[in-house]
Chains A and B, each alone.
Chain A
Amino acid sequence: MTATAAEGTEQPLVAAGATIPEVAYRTALAAFALAVVAAAAVAAPDSGAVFLGRFFGAAILRAHSVPLQLGAETFTAAGAYDGGIGWLGALTISLLAAAGPAALVFATMLAALATFALVELRARRAAGRPLGLAAAALAGLCALGSFGVAGGIVTAAFAAALAYVLERPGPRAAALGTLIALVWCNAAPQGLLAPVIGLCSVAGVTFGAASPSDRRWARLALAGTVLATLATPALLAYPALALEGLRIDRALAGVVSINPIEVAPLGYRIGFTLVVLVACALGIARGREGTIPLLLFGTLLALANGAYVVVFGVLVAPLLAASAAAAFPAFARGSARAPRADFASAGFAVVLAAVVAWQAGQRPAPLNGGFALATTLAADGRAHRLYCWNLDWCDAVLSSSPRVAVFMDGRVAAYPPDVRSAKADIVSVKATWRKVLNERRVDAMLVAKDHALAGLLALSPEWRAVDADDSAVLYERTAVAR
């Protein structure tokens, strides 16, 4: 059986055994692109990181320089050094937000499409197009819940690009890898993952049957990614600050959610579990043992913080496609190429994203949960010292009102250990929580409705609820409220 290729010539997609018609492949590709675009369109728009990016980006544009310390927007750690980590990402988000909601959605879609295209291309190298698409779909399942500019899809895009580039060492790969790492490190603390991916690449060529030249270029690429971590406003401090910013320290579990089931429940339950089971079935193919470090790194990273389940999918799915190709050669394709059809598919996906993003931008979703209360507080015209149970809510306040100072915001890494531990104490309602709030002169509390802290505040005469919605309650000190 043969299939009709996009060029109009008869082109078998599969080398031997079962064949998959080109039209079926293209239809599946289009359906996948549609699913990605739809997922990105419905992703939550009110992520705290978007608000924080807008705030930080606006500060950069205002000062024409990158602030390296926390400012008066926080009353617990004003002046704490944060090295301007993520300045480029913040600036980008700020500019996109200024262009309107459709621009943010479109950027999200492009990041998602680029991520899965890179996964497909990487898997295709070793396993052919059908298995390449399967790998992209597998990675897509790991991304469930991670769509959104700040939902991890951008991290996944950088990781996918770097893994793709470094898989085949050479001068161009070393240069491009260094450039990607440079941009990534300036865009987010997750740039610290670049040298680790570079190290996995070096391990791959060292344990595999690579030529001395490949090994040399892989080491150079690693050196480039390491040096890129020092080329940020934080200079030598970046690795230490970024390591904190990765939020993989178990001690942070009391301050922010890091366990996979809390951060990315769908991606973990469906995508991660499925990839693990497929890996148990296929393992790493003989001759590709060099990819084992990448598999191990991806798995441990995802378990350390659920935000990286999507990165796990991006890094590991192509390895499994290669194993599937070795185990089931009938599904692996030889060398048939259809560049024109590929470009047409990419064009279709981008146009689709633009149309859907434009539509989504016409009707931006209303703010929900604590975000709405946070913006209400910011708009009341008074100065406040605010504690947020969910740090994302405080991020929303930062970008809305200069009069409200927060106990802690999403830049957790920059806050001193005593503030983090105080935050954890309040979250776990330790006996000292009242003392902490009094010492820090907190006068407003934004708390999850179903948390015991809300119940205790309701019983405390010095606090009164001033507003509430379906998921959060806003309390103010009674003196302030009066």
Chain B
Amino acid sequence: MKYAWLVLGIFAARCFTTAIAFPPGDGDLWWQRWLGAQILRAHAVPRTLGSEAFTAPYAPWVPQEWLFGIAAYFGHTGLGWDLFAGGCAAAAIAALAIACGHAVRRGASPVAVALCSVFAGISLLESFGVRAQVVAWPLLALFLLLIDVDGPWCYAAVAVAALWSNWHASAMLAPVVAAAYAAGSALDERGVGVRTRRLALVAVLCAFGICLNPFGWDLPRYALSLFNNPIKSYISEWTVTNLDDLSFAIGSLPLLLLAMVLGTGGGADGATSDHRWRDLLVISAFAFLMLSAARNVAVFAIVALPIVAPALTRRVAWFAPAPARPPTDADRLARYALPAFALLMAIVVSWRLAGQIPPASGLANAPLAALGKVPGEHDIFCSDFAWCSLALGVPNERVFLDGRADPYPRDVWEDFVSVLRLDHDWRSMLDRRGVNAMVVKRNGQVDQALELIRGWRAVYTDKDYRLWLRSSSAGRQARLEPVERGIAGT
């Protein structure tokens, strides 16, 4: 682990910088803060969308990131922001550190761990941000570490799964991974031994553990529904991984290639590994997930590091651990000075950044602020649905679709995409839905189309965005009927 500390320090500095000084531009944080405020005000977690979503008022919602939303609310500005954003950075580094420690525990040499941690660290970078899934990373790493323990500590994984389910729906992976581990253990032991029975029990307990949250069974049900949810094709994070994703190309892909070359499931290396089937089942599942969606690149790296680094140590002589000998001054320096240096680097970076006002970037703050000055009620369509998150909770403003994304019904998504694609009925759809304000990317296809048609006027323009309003009240009249019918029907 001695070299890995240095790697961790470098990534820590990078993550703290990104998190504190460059907050995310995808709008999620805005609706999560709004969610946190709602929870604190009502002392309950909302289970439906509100009237702020005019296309789907009172549609069922599982706000899986409720705990993160509360944290986001408290971490809005000043020291709160530093602690909150810094906490997300710390979570990412903790995930990396736990995975490194797991690899060491499984016999990986310091050099192998350092190399794999570099790849894993790179894998985290593109997905990293002040986001709920980042908080889930260390919980995944800890879960994997605990189920790998051959003893009663294994049961602590259930508590981790329960905690995990309150931060993010990816906790659904916990019972699946535990079950895969149990099956792998049975194959490794060539029978159902003590370890297999214990892991099977952990898998069952985890299935219940992930229901220990405000949503109960609805959380795993929601997570399962995502597998076949068509809205994934409209969200960039769910696009199939490709080489344009740098975290994949120079992070997870090298780890995957190492796994392919070294083999984890027993091949030629199986004789020296007592984890062959467990490792194979787990890494196969996560490799499949990674190749299926870009958002899984980071979790694959967290899973692969403790599997690939020991295999590298076993198979490649250059990575073999040095023979045991009394520690020298250099060893002591490496053992204590490197972690100290890593910690110092992270503290210095955090200290330098603390107190900075997070700049807003990549979000349509300005056009939405301009809209706020226009009297009347506005039903807004944003060409990037995440921008509309900024309008949540603003009086007299309602949104077509916002960053909460998942609870919106399929027909809303289809209408959203039909506008972006300028399908033949896109204008009638806007009329039918009663949209009377549109925030669009300047010179994007929707902006160009609005310039060509009558009935809309641009009231705000900057270098990135344009705000369009209906030039007559016709749209307003058209809006009332379907929306009111929708409310009455729920």
User: Using a CB–CB distance below 8 Å, which chain A residues touch chain B?
Assistant: 250, 253, 259-261, 268, 272-273, 276-277, 279-286, 292, 295-296, 299, 303-304, 323-324, 326-327, 429-431, 450-456, 458-460
- Does B394 touch A at the CB level, under 8 Å? no
Chain A residues positioned under 8 Å from B264 (CB to CB): 280-281, 283
Q: Please tell me if the beta carbons of B445 and A429 are within 8 angstroms of each other in the complex.
A: yes
- Determine the chain B residues whose CB is within 8 A of the CB of A268 once the complex forms: 240
Which chain B positions have C-beta within 8 A of A296? Answer: 257, 261
**Contact between B267 and A323 (Cβ–Cβ < 8 Å)?**
yes
Indicate if the CB atoms of B266 and A292 lie closer than 8 Å: no
Which of A259, A280, A455 touches B426 (beta carbons < 8 Å)?
A455
Cα separation A458 to B448 with both chains bound (whole Å): 12
Check A303–B280 contact: CB distance below 8 A: no
The answer to whether A281 touches B280, judged by C-beta atoms less than 8 angstroms apart, is yes
Nearest-CB residue, chain A, relative to B291: A273
Q: From residue B99, how far is it (CB to closest CB) to chain A in Å?
A: 18
Q: Which among B260, B270, B448 is the interface contact of A295 at CB below 8 angstroms?
A: B260
A458 & B424 in contact (Cβ 8 Å cutoff): yes
In B82-129, the 8 Å CB interface with A consists of none
B242 at the interface (CB under 8 A from A): yes
- Subset of 5 A-B contacts with CB under 8 Å: A259-B244, A280-B280, A281-B266, A283-B259, A303-B253
Residue A277 contacts which of B244, B253, B287 (CB distance < 8 angstroms)? B287
A326 touching B267, Cβ below 8 Å:
yes
Instruction: Please state if B242 and A280 are interface contacts (CB–CB under 8 Å).
Output: no
Contact residues of A: prevailing secondary structure: helix
B421, CB-defined interface residue at 8 Å: yes
Cβ-defined contact, B261 with A459, below 8 A: no
A250 touches B452 (CB 8 A): no
Given A273-B288, A273-B291, A279-B263, A285 and B242 contact (CB-CB distance below 8 Å): no
Of B243, B265, B269, the residue contacting A250 (CB under 8 A) is B243
Contact A260 B268 (CB under 8 A): no
Q: Which of A259, A261, A299 contacts B257 (CB 8 A)?
A: A299
- The one of A280, A285, A324, A429 in contact with B259, judged by C-beta atoms closer than 8 angstroms, is A280
Shortest beta-carbon distance, B423 to chain A, in Å? 7
A433–B420 Cα distance when bound, in Å, is 17
* Given the contacts A303-B242, A455-B449, A285 and B268 also touching, CB distance less than 8 Å: yes
Question: In angstroms, how far is the closest chain B Cβ from the Cβ of A12?
Answer: 25
Q: Within the assembled complex, what's the spacing in Å between the Cα atoms of A429 and B443?
A: 9
Query: Which residues does chain B contribute within 8 Å of A459, judged by CB atoms?
Result: 422, 449, 452-453
Q: Which of B242, B280, B422, B444 contacts A260 (CB 8 A)?
A: B242
**Does B461 sit within 8 A of A, measured CB to CB?**
no
Determine how close the nearest CB of chain B comes to the CB of A141; give it in whole angstroms. 14
B437-477 vs A, CB cutoff 8 Å, 1 = contact: the mask equals 00000011100110011000000000000000000000000
| Contact status of A456 and B422, CB under 8 A, knowing A260-B242, A280-B280, A303-B253 | yes
Q: How far is the CB of A478 from chain B (nearest CB, A)?
A: 14
Are A327 and B261 in contact (CB-based, < 8 A)?
no
CB distance B421 to A284 under 8 Å?
no
Q: Which residues of B contact A (CB under 8 A)?
A: 240, 242-244, 253, 256-257, 259-270, 280, 283-284, 287-288, 291, 315, 420-424, 426, 443-445, 448-449, 452-453
With A280-B265, A280-B284, A303-B243 given, is the CB distance from A452 to B260 under 8 Å? Answer: no
Are B262 and A283 in contact, CB atoms less than 8 angstroms apart?
A: yes
Question: Most chain-B CB neighbours within 10 Å: which of A280, A292, A324, A455?
Answer: A280
- In the complex, chain A residues whose CB is within 8 Å of the CB of B260: 276, 279-280, 283, 295, 299
A326 to B243, CA, bound (A): 32
Chain B residue at minimal CB-CB distance from A284: B261
Give bound CA distance, A482 to B263, whole Å. 66
Contacts of B242 in A (CB 8 A): 259-261, 303
Contact of B244 among A253, A323, A458 (CB under 8 A): A253
Pair A259/B263 contact, Cβ less than 8 Å: no
Residue of B nearest to A259 (CB): B242
Bound-state CA distance A451–B280 (Å) is 42
Give the distance in Å from the alpha carbon of A53 to the alpha carbon of B240 in the complex.
Answer: 32
A283 touching B453 in the complex, CB below 8 Å, given contacts A253-B244, A431-B443: no
Residues of A within 8 A of B262 (CB): 283-284
Contact partners of B448 in chain A: CB under 8 A: 429, 431, 456
Residues of B within 8 A of A277 (CB): 284, 287-288
* A280-B283 contact in complex given A285-B268, A299-B260, A456-B448, C-beta closer than 8 Å: yes
Q: A250-B244, A253-B244, A285-B267 are in contact. List 17 more A-B contacts (CB 8 A).
A: A259-B243, A272-B291, A273-B287, A273-B288, A279-B263, A280-B264, A281-B267, A282-B268, A283-B259, A296-B261, A323-B268, A327-B266, A327-B268, A431-B448, A452-B445, A456-B448, A458-B424
Would you give the shortest CB distance from A382 to chain B, in whole angstroms?
Answer: 27
Chain B residues, CB < 8 A from A285: 267-268
Known A273-B291, A458-B424: A282·B265 in contact at CB below 8 Å: yes
Query: Which residue on A lies nearest to B451, using beta carbons?
Result: A459
Would B256 and A283 count as touching, CB distance under 8 A? Answer: no
B256 partner residues in chain A, CB cutoff 8 A: 276, 280
CA distance A281 to B259 in the complex (A): 8
The complex places the Cα of A286 from the Cα of B420 at a distance, in Å, of 54
Task: Give the complex CA separation of A455 and B446 in angstroms.
Answer: 10
With a cutoff of 8 Å between Cβ atoms, the chain B residues found around residue A292 in the complex are 261
Q: Which of A253, A276, A283, A284 contacts B291 (CB 8 A)?
A: A276
Closest to B445 in A: A452
With both chains docked as a complex, state the minimum distance between the C-beta of B471 and any C-beta of chain A, in angstroms: 17
Give the contacting residue for B422; candidates A304, A323, A454; CB below 8 A: A454
The answer to whether A280 and B445 touch (CB under 8 A), given A250-B244, A299-B260, A452-B422, is no
Closest residue on chain A to residue B308 by CB atoms = A280
B424 partner residues in chain A, CB cutoff 8 A: 455, 458
Set B253, B284, B443, B445: member contacting A281, Cβ < 8 A: B284
Rounded to whole Å, the gap between the CB of B167 and the closest CB of chain A is 29
- Chain A residue at minimal CB-CB distance from B452: A459
User: CB-CB < 8 A to B268: which residues of A?
Assistant: 282-286, 323, 326-327
Judging by beta carbons under 8 Å apart, are B420 and A452 in contact? yes
CA of A429 to CA of B452, assembled, Å: 14
B269 touches A283 (CB 8 A): yes
A474 to chain B, nearest CB (A): 15
Could you say which residues of chain B place their CB within 8 Å of the CB of A273? 287-288, 291
- Give the 7 A-B CB pairs with smallest separation, nearest first: A283-B263, A455-B422, A281-B265, A282-B267, A279-B260, A452-B445, A431-B443
B426 touches A327 (CB 8 A): no
The CA of A305 and the CA of B151, in the complex, are separated in Å by 47
Q: B residues within 8 A CB of A260? A: 240, 242
Query: What B residues does A450 contact at CB under 8 A?
Result: 421, 423
State A39–B269 Cα separation when bound (angstroms): 37
- Identify which of B243, B284, B423, B443 contacts A455 (C-beta below 8 A): B423
Name the residue in A296, A429, A450, A453 with the highest tally of chain B Cβ atoms < 10 Å from its Cβ. A429
Q: In the assembled complex, which residues on chain A have CB atoms less than 8 Å from the CB atom of B420?
A: 452
* Bound-complex Cα distance A213 to B424 (A): 69
Instruction: Contact check, A295 vs B287: say whether CB atoms are below 8 A apart.
Output: no
CA distance A299 to B244 in the complex (A): 15
Q: Please give, as numbers and ranges, the residues of chain A lying within 8 Å of B426 by CB-CB distance.
A: 455
